[in-house]
Structure formats: structure tokens, C-alpha cells
Amino acid sequence: MTDPKGGTVLVVDLGAQYAQLIARRVREAHVYSEIVPRSITAEEIRDRVPIGVILSGGPASVYADDAYEIDEGILELGVPIFGICYGHQVIAHSLGGTVARTGTAEYGRTDMVGIGPGVLLEGLPERQSVWMSHGDSVTAAPEGFTVTASTEGSPVAAMENRSAGIYGVQFHPEVAHTPRGDEIFKHFLYEACGAPPSWTRHSIIEDSVAAVRSQVGDSQVICGLSGGVDSSVAAALVHEAIGDQLTCIFVDHGLLRAGEGVQVEETFRSHFDINLIHVKAQDRFLEALAGVADPEAKRKIIGELFIRVFEEVAAEVSGAKFLVQGTLYPDVIESGTGTAAKIKTHHNVGGLPDDMVFDLIEPLRDLFKDEVRAVGEELGLPAEIVWRQPFPGPGLAVRIIGDVTLERLEILRAADGIVVDEIRKAGLYEEIWQSFGVLPAIRSVGVQGDGRTYAYPLIVRAVMSEDAMTADWARLPYEVMESISSRVMNEVQGINRVAYDISSKPPSTIEWE
């Protein structure tokens, strides 16, 4: 994304588990932010012309042999800088302050006392609760800095050099456990950086439409439409920009949820005046996946075949040069960047073939899921699309652990439909981030109708999340679990056992593959 009118705040990731959360908090204040790796140089930041820089927390001591460091020239750019936790310590250590062990490590809720005036804490209570997570502390601020708050274990819990535009806090204002954290971010953004709160759903659409028009010109464009939130919003956004130059191609790989293929076609033909081609390709995808158990191999096979089908259909769309995809920011992060290790390859990021003939249009590439939903609402998409739970591009193929066969696919599709139906009946569908079934390619002994069975187990997965970067397992009511279990084992032939996944992310991922 080109920098929005209000400018960009760069979040330098120093190894924090909360780097993505920091970026989200900035965006929630209606200022655009991007995460960049700690290897970024002062020159690279200068070239980006950001309106502010935030140094995240991190796991190490500034004195450790493997301590994460920054180009100290960043502190001399004259750009407003805000250090959080480890970033706070890096600033102090780099500018001549003192970082040491005080003998009182702080983890969790901590009482903080304001001891001087300052930009970050202006108008906040003298005493407030903040969330700490550190061993080392800044014990003496660098020359020219004013200490504005302290705690029992952190003599310099907050400091700032207003004339230099450099600020730091030992606590984590980005987490919900720091109740006034959003106000601290706004003080940095609005007061220190002079940023206008102009990055809104309307401005996102306006900027994206302009970028798409500039990229496309008068060329024809095709869009990979799955009917999920991401591809649907991407299609609507591009259609807003170029109208009839867009043709949506719905490649039905046969790995969708129950009834989804029909629903996608009906929705887009009835709600939108968009050119739509429906390609039914289940046999081709199952043939390509036959005997493949490795999840990364599945994703790459599906991603490449998806593109090959597009190339074939593109012959019917004269002059098509561009392909629209609903890639999101978490997809990019999880597929591996200079900031984050690769967790898994997303079929629409790392799974694309090198010899693909299309140039990509990814209007949602810099957005989190909640931002995508907001854009969808602004574009007037139906609620049943905007609030549909996320679904992986490779579909049920990565919810079948092991070889994907037609038998396993039909079993899982039926069972998964029951899971979603019961979640809806309980009024939990929009509250839960994702709820679905997983089918491991193993069998266990059971008894049904006084006879022995040897059938598959179903793993039920339901999680709560804001953006899929972290997630906690949903505490479903027992009666909902009972209904799911009873219906699955009574209605789906081939399943004789139901289990519930109570793993959070991290250390697990939301999907099993």
C-alpha cells in the first residue's frame, strides 16, 4: 500500500509477542501502521518518511550476547520515537542511560505513579494500573530526559525528551490489561507525531480504489472468488474501482463446506452486477491430491492448480492481465517475512507458482481481518458474507489430516456442517472467530447398534480471536458440545468418536495443518 494521506507509523519488531498488537492499536487510533524488521536501517527509515517510529518489546536483555539491536542512527533522524518495554531499554542504553536488574522483576498488573508532567501521560490519573513483563529496568534516564512515572521495580517506568521527540515506557500500553493504554498511544500519535486520525474505512477504500485504477489502467482483471470474507471484499473493492473490467472466477475445488458452492453463486449473481464464471473442478483437485499427506505439499498443490485453472479460464476473458487475491496481512506475516519466521505457507502467498502469467492485485494485503470486515460493511456487502467465519483457501483439504479422499471429504463436510449449525443455533456464530471439524486419518473402535465399529474420530475446534495472530479456545457450553457430539455420531456414517480441541495459539495454530 502506498502511504496514506495521514502518513505511516513504522513498528520495529524487536522480537515481541505483541508487535502485531501494537500495529493494531495504532490503526485503531485511525493512523496507518506497518511492521518492519529490526534489521531496518536509519537510511531505509528515512526513505520511508514515516511520521513516527515505535520500538516494540522483546525477549532479551540489552546486555545479552544475542541482544536484539537497532541502527542507533534511527534515534538521530528527528522522527518521533516511542520505545515500549525492551524498546524503552534500548533507547536508554543507546543514549547513555542505565539499564540494570533492580532485584524486583515485574510480571503482570502493576501500580504505577506519575512523578512529573509529560506528553504520554497527560490527563491520566496520577496512579494507574499497567501491565509489566520484564526483568531488567531502566534505573537512570539518559541526559535530557524527564522521568514521568515509576513503579516499585522500575524507577524509570516512563520517560521522555520532548525536544528530541523520543519517548519510552517500561510497561505494555498495547495490551488490554493496561486500561488507559489506548490514550497513551493517542497522545504519542496525535501530540508527538502530529498525526491526523484520518485512516478510516472510507479512506482505505478511497486509497485502494485509486491504487487499483493506477495499476490496472484499461486492462481486464480476473478475481479468484471463493465466497469467503476476504475474496468477496477484494472483489467488491476492485469492482468499485474498475467496474466491468473485472470478471470473477469461482473455482469450486470441491473442498468447500456443505452447500457453499451453490450459496456463493446465488449470492454474487443476485447481489452484484459482476461478471461471474463458475468452474467446477473437484475431480481435478482430488486427483492432484491423491496420496499426498504432507500439509505444505497440499497447500502448494492446491495453490498451483488453482492458478492453472485460472490460466485456462482466462482465455475466455480477452486481455486479462491481472489476478485479484484476498491476501491479508496475517497471511503475509505467517508465510514468513523479514520480521517473522514462517509458520505455514498460505496457498495465496508462498504457494503461487514462479511462472504465473498474471500480475497480482492484492487490495487487502495490508489489512487485518476486522479491518476487512469494516471495509466490506462500508461497501454494502451482505452481513452473511461480511461476518462469515474465516475459511482456509485450501478448504477441507487441510482439515483432513492425511490423504484427502472423496470418502473422507464427504464425511468431514457433513460433520463440519453440523458443528456450524449447532454453533449458529446457540447464537455463538458471530462471537466465535472460527468453529469447525477436523478429521484425522485414523480409526478407533466404537459400538453402535450393539455392533462393533471401526471409524474416524472428529475433532471439534472453536476459538476466540481478534485477528488470528493469537487465539484462545472457546469455552463452549456443555449442552452445545453434547448436541454436536450426538448429532455427528447419529447422522454421519463413518464417525464414532468426537473430541474437543482445547489448545490456544500459541503454541498451537488455529488450523491443524
Q: CA-CA distance, 509 to 334, in Å (whole number)?
A: 11
The set of cell numbers assigned to 72 is 542507533
Tally of CB atoms within 10 A around 479: 10
Residues classed as catalytic: 85, 172, 174
The CA-atom distances, in angstroms, between 331 and each of 180, 284, 396, 416, 430 are: 30, 26, 18, 24, 22
Tally of CB atoms within 10 A around 209: 16
The CA-atom distances, in angstroms, between 252 and each of 234, 256, 382, 480 are: 18, 8, 21, 31
Q: Are strands 451-464 and 434-440 parallel, antiparallel or unpaired?
A: antiparallel
Could you tell me which residues are beta bridge partners of residue 346?
Answer: none
Residues 6+ apart with CB under 8 A from 253: 281, 282, 285, 302, 305, 306, 395
Burial 327-350 (b: 16+ CB within 10 A, else e): bbbbbbbbbbeebbeeebbbbbbb
Residues 6+ apart with CB under 8 A from 80: 51, 52, 53, 165, 166, 167, 188, 192, 193
The set of cell numbers assigned to 414 is 457433513
Q: Are strands 32-37 and 8-13 parallel, antiparallel or unpaired?
A: parallel
Type of residue numbered 375: V
Tally of CB atoms within 10 A around 424: 12
The set of cell numbers assigned to 240 is 468499485
Among 375, 324, 50, CA closest to 203: 375
- The answer to whether 42 touches 36, Cβ cutoff 8 Å, is no
At 180 the three-state DSSP class reads: coil
Among 346, 314, 304, 353, CA closest to 328: 346
Q: CA-CA distance, 286 to 309, in Å (whole number)?
A: 14
Tally of CB atoms within 10 A around 288: 17
Tally of CB atoms within 10 A around 371: 21
Which DSSP string do the residues of 352-392 spell out, in sequence order?
Answer: S-TT--SEEE-TTTT--HHHHHHHHHHTT--HHHHTPPP--
- The full 3-state SS of 389-453, as one line of letters, equals CCCCCCHHHHCEECCCCHHHHHHHHHHHHHHHHHHHHCCCCCCCCEEEEEEECCCEEEEECCEEE
